[in-house]
Amino acid sequence: MLRRDAGIGQTFPMTLQKLFDLTGRVAIVTGGSVGLGRQMAEGLAEMGANLVLCARKKERCLQAAEELQKLGVQVLALGCDVKQPASIQEVADAAFKHFGRIDILVNNAGTSWGAPVESMTLEQWNKVIETNLTGTFLFSQAVGKIMIGQRRGKIINIASVAGLRGSPPKFSAIGYSASKGGVIIFTKDLACKWGMHNIHVNAIAPGWFPTDMSEKVIERNKESLLAGVPLGRFGGPHDLKGAAVFLASDASDFVTGHTLVVDGGQSA
């Protein structure tokens, strides 16, 4: 396979290892200190990417940074509230000042709220929408301005299979489902808008992974949930790494506007 260098106009061979290599790239992972964010951050670091981890609890990011640095990459740990534009801008500015570039953005920070539709308050609804959907927009906007100047970038939005279809009544989290459905169409539309800048925008839609946010639901409904997963298990500690690395790397340079479902066949 030959790859064209846009800056020089020359072609050079690209091996499979080179296509997935992230050495020297810089990735921001929101909510990257624990759970799925931590798993994806680890995968990116294992392929050579330097990291910027940000979350509301900075102390968790500092702990994760200390552990991930053992992989031989630089890790910057920052506090951030994705509902606050000024907080997001501080992270983008700090990342660019420290590394001089931002190649990858993983919009992973998220929350949920369980309540019947008829009793969910506006405050509860807004908290979920502002974190999961508006936060994705605000971070993409802030980092996208830098990527436009670079003429390249990879944005990975974390959606969910909950955003692909309706859920049974016992899963009362309509704000979460609505926000993740919004993330999917936001991904498609932003891919159309920013393709001209050589910015790739894709999403990952995980199925059931045991995390701090989902473990109670999984505990209460384990048998019925597993019955709906053809592979017969929940997502594990390595199941999102490959998807994140693929969408962050040159291996996905002709993929944009796509939602990669990682759910063990649940939505099949």
Instruction: Please report the pLDDT score of residue 2 as a whole number.
Output: 55
Q: What is the pLDDT of residues 206-252, one digit of tens each?
A: 999 998 878 888 988 899 999 999 999 999 999 999 999 999 999 99
120 part of a folded domain: yes
Residues 6+ apart with CB under 8 A from 84: none
Residues 155 and 69: their CA atoms lie apart, in Å, by 23
Q: What is the pLDDT of residues 2-21, one digit of tens each?
A: 554 444 445 567 899 999 99
Q: What is the pLDDT of residues 131-162, one digit of tens each?
A: 999 999 999 999 999 999 999 999 999 999 99
Which domain does 195 fall in, by range? Answer: 2-262
65 part of a folded domain: yes
16 part of a folded domain: yes
- Mean pLDDT, the chain, rounded, equals 94
160 part of a folded domain: yes
> Residue 202: which CATH number?
3.40.50.720
Give the total number of structural domains in the chain: 1
Strands 2-4 and 11-13: antiparallel
- pTM of the predicted model, to two decimals? 0.93
Provide, rounded to the nearest whole percent, the portion of the chain with pLDDT above 90: 88
268 part of a folded domain: no
Decide if 209 is catalytic: no
Residues 66 and 44: their CA atoms lie apart, in Å, by 16
Residue positions counted in the chain = 268
Given 176, 208, 234, 246, the catalytic residue: 176
| Tokens encoding 225 | 């949930």
267 part of a folded domain: no
